[in-house]
Amino acid sequence: MENTDKILEVSHLKKYFKTGKGTLKAVDDVSFTIKKGETLGIVGESGCGKTTCGRTCIGIYEKTDGQVLYKGKDVHGLRGAERKAFTKEVQIIFQDPYSSLDPKMKVHDIIAEGLRAHHMCQSKEEEQKKVQELLETVGLNAEHATRYVHEFSGGQRQRIGIARALAVEPDFIVCDEPISALDVSIQAQIVNLLIRLQKEKGLTYLFIAHDLAMVKHISDRVAVMYLGTVAEITDSDSLYQRPLHPYTKALLSAIPIPDPKVEEGKERIKLQGELPSPIDPPEGCRFASRCKYATDRCRTERPKLLEMERGHFVACHLYGEK
């Protein structure tokens, strides 16, 4: 019987790109699930594959191997009417509101694109009313509809991008680093807007970011990616209070603490060595070349993602198989 609680099931997903220097293994055997109404955060350094993973999960990129099920249906096998229904239910908010919005289009037309594609309004008046409601929902004014995107700040443009995603009344949204191009002062406003919209509309998010502090604020669970693989995945509180993987510990040690005394006494874990190339990744654990605990086994045998505690998975030979 189908488990309707799971909205997205990703199993052994791989996405490789052919390059002049060889095969780039951007996503290499990644598995996770997302339940309806929750937010899964994906974090990691630039180049770890998190954006590629998000885009492959919703069919923007074709998979190389593995499987992605959305509400029990194979995302990469959808055709015709099923594919169109999927593009209505699943939306993406892009990283850069400067490049993802067409500067030659008025705000009304940008937001109305999805409404028109899915025939969601019966008249021009209904469309206009819907666009104005969407603008107000994301904290903009109805009169902004007649202006061009170049007239807006980065934070306002991202709100327009969110309104565009919301227009078709989706169930699931991939938030692809939606705050990284914005000023720090604006980032919290956008994250709080996304949290409010999730509560009001029952949305499910895949939230991709490199800022661990912001990810904790919005995510129910967090997956830590390193060089195309998942190093650790658990609920947000467990990850921050009891990180298991050496890479996760290093990432968390870099987050500033508001209390100066605590910050002064905190040990910062500095990673050694360079990030290996995803074109020629290490044979064993991807993190072995930068890990002070690495053994010969780590350098030759890739660790499996195993459940160490209830709902807490880690790929590390330090913990071994149960």
Pairing of strands 221-226, 39-43: parallel
Report whether pLDDT(262) > 60: no
Q: How far apart are the C-alpha atoms of 297 and 232, rounded to whole Å?
A: 19
Q: Is residue 155 assigned to a domain?
A: yes
Query: Where residue 273 falls among pLDDT bands split at 50, 70, 90?
Result: confident
Give every CB contact of residue 133 below 8 A, 6+ residues apart in sequence. Answer: none
Pairing of strands 306-309, 312-314: antiparallel
Residue 251 buriedness (CB in 10 A; 0-12 / 13-18 / 19+): buried
Residue 211 near residue 204 (C-beta atoms within 8 A): no
**Contacts of 130-138 spanning 24+ positions with Cβ under 8 A:** 130/167, 131/107, 131/163, 131/167, 134/163, 134/166, 134/167, 135/107, 135/111, 135/160, 135/163, 137/163, 137/166, 137/197, 138/162, 138/163, 138/166, 138/193, 138/197
172 lies in which domain range? Answer: 6-314
pLDDT at 261: 57
Q: Which tokens hold the place of 78?
A: 């959808």
pLDDT at 181: 84
pLDDT at 269: 80
Instruction: Return the higher-pLDDT residue of 278 and 211.
Output: 278
Residue 127 near residue 112 (C-beta atoms within 8 A): yes
Q: Is residue 33 assigned to a domain?
A: yes
State the average pLDDT for the chain. 91
Residue with tokens 């290093």, as numbered in its chain: 250
Q: How far apart are the C-alpha atoms of 312 and 232, rounded to whole Å?
A: 8
Residue 144 buriedness (CB in 10 A; 0-12 / 13-18 / 19+): buried
CA distances from 252 to 248, 266, 270 (A): 6, 11, 11
Query: Where residue 258 falls among pLDDT bands split at 50, 70, 90?
Result: low
Report whether pLDDT(286) > 90: yes
Instruction: Return the higher-pLDDT residue of 253 and 264.
Output: 253
CATH number of residue 185's parent domain: 3.40.50.300
Spatial strand order of the sheet with 65-70 comes to 22-35, 6-19, 65-70, 73-74
pLDDT at 146: 95
Write out pLDDT tens, residues 106-148.
999 999 999 999 999 999 999 999 999 999 999 999 999 999 9
Query: Where residue 48 falls among pLDDT bands split at 50, 70, 90?
Result: very high
pLDDT at 322: 40
Q: Is residue 115 assigned to a domain?
A: yes
Instruction: Return the higher-pLDDT residue of 165 and 265.
Output: 165
Q: Is residue 67 assigned to a domain?
A: yes
Q: Is residue 319 assigned to a domain?
A: no
Q: How many domains does the chain have?
A: 1
Residue type present at position 26: A
Q: Please state the rounded mean pLDDT for residues 231-236.
A: 97
Length of the chain: 322
Q: Please state the rounded mean pLDDT for residues 180-194.
A: 91
Query: Where residue 11 falls among pLDDT bands split at 50, 70, 90?
Result: very high
pLDDT at 3: 45
Q: Which tokens hold the place of 222?
A: 């967090």
Q: Is residue 109 assigned to a domain?
A: yes
pLDDT at 2: 44
Residue 301 near residue 287 (C-beta atoms within 8 A): no
Q: Please state the rounded mean pLDDT for residues 185-199.
A: 94
Write out pLDDT tens, residues 55-85.
999 999 999 999 999 999 999 999 999 999 9
Q: Is residue 41 assigned to a domain?
A: yes
Q: Is residue 112 assigned to a domain?
A: yes
